[in-house]
Every structure is written in structure tokens, then in C-alpha cells.
A and B are shown apart, each in its own frame.
Chain A
């Protein structure tokens, strides 16, 4: 994999759900392109710097990456304070997430150095949102990293998350990679087997990998849940997936 040692990374503004202007962190290699795009979806605790690092990691690998700040409207403020306010309000509404992500997708495809291919990757709640987006938007590849709530019973639904994404699986329009920890409680290995069963029943292109010795958020190198061996292997699979379906 070619490493792009020079890049531009900055916060940009773009129209999101219902035309609201929101911010995102855009990172891209310095060069004419064309580069495929990746949308990076942050976890529920907040739009912390880790997700900007993830965007830069993709840029170094030759992608134009944007990490939308899904909590933009509740800010400004420290990401964990803003994340707390969003949590207290019931989380990011699914329709707002899809509108914001549609805006990020349109932005990436409009850039003169874009190849036109765009994938999405999300972590934790962002993993669920990645699955939701892959079933709702014209994306070219998706990665769900331990998204809990893809499988959800009626008692888990809410005004902000009114539908379990698994119910939209028939509309999944791009290849899906799922990366999970065997010790995770949500999604549990049973949840993931149910998702696999539904994906298979609809004839979808997907791969799921579950790591022993890892729980939730094993990619999060700023938290005690980080599992180096699983994360290193996971990153190889992520770049393999996007390399295959976004080139």
C-alpha cells in the first residue's frame, strides 16, 4: 500500500440534513487524484480527536476521508460535554444522521480529485449507523465496527432510532464488512449470527470477523478496550475491503 506522506487536513463546512450547515474533518493526500472517498462515523461519546486521526490514516493510504461531526448542532464545546448533551436528548436521530451523511457523500463526490467511489466506516454507534447508511444511501462499500443495535427488539427502539437496521437489509446496496469482539455484549455474537443469517437470506456480499479476546471498541487506542492484535488485523481487513471495492 502506497503511503502518502503529505496531506491536507482541515475542518470544513457543508450542508447536511435539511440544508443545515454542519462541520466535518476532511483529510486528503496532496496530489491530483483521483482518490476514492471514505466517510468516517464517530462513536456516541463524542467527536473526539481519535476520529480525526482515523481520517488522516485514510488520507495517508490514498483516500479522501471526511469525518462528519454528527454533534455539530449541539456544540460548540468539548466533545465529551457535547456528547453528554446528545446522549441526554436520546442520541442522534437516524433521519438526521442520514441527511448529514448524504451531505458528506455529495461533498466527497463533488471534489475534483474524487474518483467517485465512496465507502463508509463507523465505530460503536457509528457501526450501526454505517449499516443504516449502507441500506439507505448510494455507497460503494461499508464497514461496521461493533455496531450495537443493528439487531434490536421493540423495547430497544426509540423516537431517535425508530427502526432496527437489520429490517432494511434487503436494501443493502454495497458490500459490507463487519468486525466484532467475541466478548462484546451489544452486539453479541448471537446478534451477529442473526445479522449474518439475514444477509445470507438476501444474497448480500459480506464478510464478518469476530476476534477472540476482544470486546467492544477494540480499535479505540485511547481507551482501555483497545486490543492491539485485533486492531492491527482489523485495519488490514478494512484496507483490503476498501482496496477491493473502492478501486
Chain B
């Protein structure tokens, strides 16, 4: 397969890369060739800050099952946390 599909969302938050924490600007959800995972394609999630260069990136490569588990886990954690503790702040300070 020689094709990639990219979905991009603007986000607010922080990520920890090889040089420490940095403020997030975007997340790319991608269906494309794996770089490291032992599958030909992966669901890749790149947490990036383009203003800080290509190295400001935290990346994961997931199987389809893992990606769906992660989606569910994010929804469960967010819903349960907000039910117990109230809504997350809409914006956070990086």
C-alpha cells in the first residue's frame, strides 16, 4: 500500500518529547506505513508543534485493535473523570 490518510486537529495541551515538555499545537491521526511497528501499516498519532520544528513530535504507531481500545479508553476516562470531578477546563496553560 502506497498511500497515507491524514486527519489533523488543533489541540491545546502539552507533550513530553526527547527534549522535555513542549506546548502542543496539533495532532495528526494518520493511516500510513509503519516506521517502527511490525506491521506494514499503522494508525499513527503524531502530537506536534510545527513552530518548534519537526523534532517537537511525540509519535505512536498502533494496530487497529489498539487504536479502537485507545479511543474507548479516552472516552471512558474523560466521561468518568468529569462525572466525578466536574468538567475539564476548556483551555489550559502550556
Q: Select one of A46, A83, A127 contacting B2, CB under 8 A.
A: A127
Q: Per-residue 0/1 for B2-45: is the Cβ within 8 Å of any A Cβ (1 yes, 0 no)?
A: 11101010000000000000000010101011110011100010
Contact call A84/B2, Cβ cutoff below 8 A: no
Contact call B28/A224, Cβ cutoff below 8 A: no
Please report A residues at the B interface, Cβ cutoff 8 Å. Answer: 43-46, 74-75, 77-78, 80-85, 87-88, 91, 124-125, 127-128, 146-149, 156, 184-187, 215-217, 223-225
B2: which A residues are within 8 A, CB to CB?
44, 124-125, 127-128, 146-149, 184, 186-187, 216
> Which of A87, A148, A217: most chain B Cβ within 10 A?
A87
Dominant secondary structure at the A interface:
loop
Q: A80-B35, A147-B2 are in contact. List 4 more A-B contacts (CB 8 A).
A: A43-B33, A87-B4, A148-B2, A148-B3
Number of interface residues of B (CB under 8 A): 25
The 3 closest A-B pairs by CB, nearest first: A148-B2, A77-B54, A81-B54
- How far is A184 from B40 in the complex, measured between Cα atoms in Å? 11
Min CB distance B93 to A, Å, is 25
- How far is A124 from B8 in the complex, measured between Cα atoms in Å? 24
Please report B residues at the A interface, Cβ cutoff 8 Å. Answer: 1-4, 6, 8, 26, 28, 30, 32-35, 38-40, 44, 46, 48, 50, 53-55, 57, 59
Contact call B54/A74, Cβ cutoff below 8 A: yes
Q: Are A45 and B33 CB-contacts (below 8 A) given A75-B54, A125-B2, A185-B1?
A: yes
Provide 26 A-B residue pairs closer than 8 Å at the C-beta atoms, listed in order of the A residue: A43-B33, A44-B2, A44-B4, A44-B32, A78-B55, A84-B44, A85-B48, A87-B6, A87-B32, A88-B28, A88-B46, A88-B48, A88-B50, A127-B2, A128-B2, A147-B2, A184-B1, A186-B2, A186-B3, A215-B40, A216-B2, A216-B33, A217-B40, A223-B34, A224-B38, A225-B40
Min CB distance B69 to A, Å, is 22
A123 (CB) vs chain B CBs: closest residue:
B2
Contact call B28/A84, Cβ cutoff below 8 A: yes
B33: which A residues are within 8 A, CB to CB?
43-45, 124, 216-217, 223
Min CB distance B55 to A, Å, is 5
- How far is A113 from B55 in the complex, measured between Cα atoms in Å? 38
A128: which B residues are within 8 A, CB to CB?
2
A77: which B residues are within 8 A, CB to CB?
53-55
- How far is A148 from B8 in the complex, measured between Cα atoms in Å? 23
A156: which B residues are within 8 A, CB to CB?
3
Contact call B1/A148, Cβ cutoff below 8 A: yes
A215: which B residues are within 8 A, CB to CB?
1, 40
- How far is A127 from B2 in the complex, measured between Cα atoms in Å? 10
A224: which B residues are within 8 A, CB to CB?
34, 38-40
B40 (CB) vs chain A CBs: closest residue:
A225
B35: which A residues are within 8 A, CB to CB?
45-46, 80, 83
B39 (CB) vs chain A CBs: closest residue:
A224
Min CB distance A59 to B, Å, is 26
B44 (CB) vs chain A CBs: closest residue:
A84
